[in-house]
């Protein structure tokens, strides 16, 4: 199995890469996961605000949340095993957890420049009445 499941904290959109103050870690995580998808790795992301069924349907995630609360998120599960809690994994960590199913050497980490976005009042994604998704 070549699969990564990310259980994200509640965010205004599926990746958290929206709105006026995007966390650089979220941008890098999205770029890293996109790189892995392009190499044939199945990547699933579940957002606590939008994918409650995925959280409720996973006994391991339910137990973690019951024991530690939402601060345990994000949780990264690789090939069915919990590999990281409380922060996003790096591309190096993700590829090492894939074990003997190593990716081709063409997998490179994309570095994304951080930009500052200013908006007026309104939704989490910036426009008055606009939606980020």
8-49 pLDDT tens trace: 998 876 566 666 667 788 889 999 999 999 988 999 999 999
Tell me, what's the pLDDT at 14? 59
| Count of the separate structural domains present in the chain | 1
Task: Tell whether 72 is covered by a domain.
Answer: yes
Task: Tell whether 60 is covered by a domain.
Answer: yes
Q: How many CA atoms lie within 13 A of 34 on its CB side?
A: 12
| CATH, residue 25 | 3.40.30.10
57-91 pLDDT tens trace: 999 999 999 999 999 999 999 999 999 999 999 99
pTM for this entry: 0.71
Task: Tell whether 115 is covered by a domain.
Answer: no
Domain that holds residue 86: 3-97
Contact 8, 48 (CB under 8 A): yes
Task: Tell whether 66 is covered by a domain.
Answer: yes
Task: Tell whether 133 is covered by a domain.
Answer: no
Q: Is the four-CA dihedral 57, 38, 131, 65 of positive or negative sign?
A: positive
Task: Tell whether 50 is covered by a domain.
Answer: yes
- CA separation, residue 55 to residues 37, 45, 132 (Å): 22, 11, 22
Give yes or no for residue 113 having a pLDDT over 80: no
Which stretches within 57-117 are classed as H helix? 59-68, 91-97
Task: Tell whether 105 is covered by a domain.
Answer: no
Long-range interactions of 89-92: CB distance < 8 A, separation 24+: 89/29, 90/32, 91/32, 91/35, 91/36
Contact 40, 1 (CB under 8 A): no
Task: Tell whether 48 is covered by a domain.
Answer: yes
């Amino acid at each position: 199995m070549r699969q990564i499941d990310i259980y994200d904290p509640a965010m205004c959109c599926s990746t958290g890469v929206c709105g006026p103050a995007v966390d650089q870690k979220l941008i890098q995580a999205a770029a890293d996961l996109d790189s892995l998808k392009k190499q044939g790795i199945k990547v699933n992301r579940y957002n606590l605000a939008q994918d409650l069924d995925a959280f409720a349907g996973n006994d391991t995630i339910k137990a973690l949340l019951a024991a530690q609360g939402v601060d345990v998120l994000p949780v990264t599960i690789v090939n069915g095993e919990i590999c990281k809690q409380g922060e996003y994994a790096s591309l190096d960590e993700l590829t090492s957890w894939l074990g003997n199913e190593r990716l081709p050497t063409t997998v490179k980490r994309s570095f994304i420049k951080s930009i500052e976005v200013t908006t007026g009042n309104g939704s989490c994604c910036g426009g008055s009445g606009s939606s980020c998704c």
